[in-house]
Amino acid sequence: MAKVLSKEEWKKRKKLYAYLKLVAAAMLALLIVLILLIGLIKVVRNLFSKGDLTSSASPTMKQELDITELFLTPNGYTRPQNTLKEVKGIVIHYVAKSGSSAVENRNYYEGLKSNSTSKTAESCHFIIDLDGGIVQCIPLNEVACASGTRNEDTIAITFCHPQIDGEPTAQTYESLLKLTTYLCAEYGLTKDAVIRHSDLGDQSCPKYFAEQEGKWAAFLAELDTALGKVAKEKK
């Protein structure tokens, strides 16, 4: 026979049930807050971790890259500070003036911010010098004004060259290969995501690779080999 609860016992049991419901609701609310907090942390990390080369690829690769940060002053023409939300490719360019240095080209971009007449929007993320040194002009979480319709989802690399034919020096070529390898590994890209500026239009840029398909194919083959080595090091 079931026990008949007294009025006082019913009140105690109701209070217990109410307490348990309150505890359950509080725990559920705490769980939701934790989930939202973890999501927010991931978003913030993804937003700011690409501002510079905080490697997830290889510390050794990063050490081998001789990068000097000379970020352009924020402005509407060369550094509009639009967020680079995703990276689907790397676009290779070359500088217009043969024999010019990375710093000279960076300063050219910097000077465009006050050129209200031409209103030229031109810049890139990296410029590789004749000696292989690398100047970074734009943080990796921002869009560079380099590749037209692909500005919103690519990183732009420009390299210097000593002669009008646009052929890079051995040091420049080596740095181009290392930097491209690093960025591909960092963003999970393959060699197929690396394109020339000329692949986006009728410009012969970079001239050396645009006009000599064999040289470009050889570069991509070396890149593929380098990425294969990086993948093996991760295992």
DSSP 170-194: HHHHHHHHHHHHHHHHHHT--GGGE
Residues 205-220 have pLDDT tens digits of: 999 999 999 999 999 9
Residue-averaged pLDDT of the chain:
86
Which residue carries 């680079």 as its tokens? 84
**pLDDT higher than 60, residue 226:** yes
Stated as kind and residue range, the H or E segment containing 94 is strand 89-94
CB atoms within 10 A of CB 107: 14
What confidence score (pLDDT) does residue 114 get?
75
Q: What is the pLDDT averaged over residues 170-174?
A: 97
Residues 103-155 have pLDDT tens digits of: 999 999 998 887 656 667 899 999 999 999 999 999 999 999 999 999 999 99
Stated as kind and residue range, the H or E segment containing 136 is strand 134-136
Question: 161, 98 in Cβ contact below 8 A?
Answer: yes
Q: Among candidates 82, 65, 86, 66, which has minimal Cα distance to 74?
A: 82
Q: Among candidates 217, 127, 214, 140, which has minimal Cα distance to 175?
A: 127
Domain residue ranges of the chain, discontinuous segments joined by +: 1-48, 59-234
43 pLDDT band (50/70/90 cuts)? very low
Q: What is the pLDDT averaged over residues 178-187?
A: 96
CATH architecture of the region 59-234:
3-Layer(aba) Sandwich (3.40)
What confidence score (pLDDT) does residue 54 get?
43
**pLDDT higher than 80, residue 189:** yes
pTM higher than the cut 0.85: no
50 pLDDT band (50/70/90 cuts)? very low
**pLDDT higher than 60, residue 86:** yes
